[in-house]
Structure 1
């Protein structure tokens, strides 16, 4: 006895031969024909003319009942003249032929195991690879945002060089690194903060891309310096590198001519006080006392009279980078004069002073010096 096919529900329209299914699989079930009817008393059983798809069939006669939707139904397959058996045999033959396939043979040779998935290594070969829970979780993402949420802290490992990041980049020239990402730099690179020439460079490069043309580069040196620049034409030309994130007050330092520390450094020691600026400017000042006891007659002119002189060695609280600095001495003693600095180096300056008269004295003075620390 034929078992009725009753999967899903149907909709019928009065006077129409077309039946629409929902949740049905008429073609897949190999229904070749038969009789169609509703579970209700609406209409009479009607022969099936054709099965058009899994969700549509055509009746041999228009539906004689009323229009109805979401109805339970039944189909009795037609087994007369071996029609159904012939269709089944043809389908079975087709399926068997499909099984005689090198790709299926390759998969059949694999041994399934937990946390593994199959993939093809060639036209007729396959293999298994790991797919852990996190990988399956990522594959189930509904979009980029969902994937990022599943990734969590994505900066968990070391970054790669541009050439090894699988984004089509080549190492050696920062002007060509325009793909957004984080990269490690080592070896020789051109167009760095040090200039256009190729020089040894070590650090981390962050590239931000607002559009195909608008790209920002941030370079983090291993000595805590941070530089940035940008292009608005996709890398054809770039702005100059500028240093960022300098503290206002702290220890001033420089590397390759670029500030590497604070903007202002203020300090003092036994020699006096000083201030250094990030642009290289240095100012030192202090006080001192020197003994003037060497008699020197008429050194201010033929009628100036006697005077006594002495030398003062002014040691700076911070060293100047060269001798192109200016040192000034200010007397706090009447009749005092400065004859000039006769010897200078980065750490100190020797100054000769004089006082009118012939009596030896300890002379107090104030001094200041202006120059550069790099």
Structure 2
């Protein structure tokens, strides 16, 4: 049979249901329904055990208030009741194991207190932080998290699944930082440029360096280092087909070369062109420089000749301009092609922009020649018509030139050639009629006085009396417009 409980002291107040304990431990020792033998000698039913030092009564205390008083509590339930309660609690506990761990089901747990762990290491084990998730913890810290779409690992991986070193090429192994030069502050040094077969990032030393990298060196005169990018793959087995790109380390000038390999061997190193290989401007004449669009007037708008003067243009290329000095035949808008031979002999071809005239000239290293038409040039003005040929031949003519006699037996008239001759031309004239006597010209003479272009027509007839009439002549001259 259960014994009475008397440990500690109590304090009670008249009309109050609360009992305070000092030095008491009521939880688990007494139960609601037990009887309190109070300091006033009366018995009171316990309503609730609030804590180890506080309980409440069903009825208010009737005696006078006291503190630090003796008391006793008599259990009202027998051993059988307590046994039944304990048995029921045990059954509930066992059932929770049957429904949980014994059936393979565990609570969620946390990172610090995993739900599946060992007695000796309670902060290391498994927990279930969310739907379709399993986490592992070690020392109270999550290390992995497995979900339906990913497996998160929060610590370094080591062991046989990881590369043994930076160039370990075993199939299936996980790569580490600096594997084949990736992610490392310093790439791995190539051992032999011709026989290394592993893709990656490396470095080597030029041919003039004391530690020059073996193999066919891309920079045989370099006394320094260069970077090397190696690519390997394709048919034919490992290393049968490869590419290499070498880039020289230089703060002032970058230079890159590349080559490839197939089953027959390596190709020669070839240089990668960069901006330094291009013309600096359209007139850049650096030997070997790559031409850009607009170079020397090709592939873009032709530039204006130097000083807007065709005499100054002594570089091979196209130029164009408007009202350019030393253009041909007074043309205003001209495109000109200059061709040079070592800078001491030049030929220029010019065409006006309407395409009507095409001229050429030469420079002998000292003096420009005059412009010569390549196609026949034909024109007319108030002095008649003319045509010029590329070989220097020129013809001028005029029709129905009036010559008037006023009561005279002779008369003369000066005319100017439509285009100047370089020397005295051959000149002929024929009558083409008159006013009063169409066919009566009498005797006439025509002569070319000089090479400046002033032929004189001199008419004379021998009738007894003077004559007043207007006669008409056609004249024609042939000669050279340049010698």
Q: Which has the higher contact order (CA 8 A, sep 6+)?
A: 1
Query: TM-score, normalization: structure 2?
Result: 0.27
Q: Higher strand proportion, which one?
A: 1
User: Rg: which structure is higher?
Assistant: 2
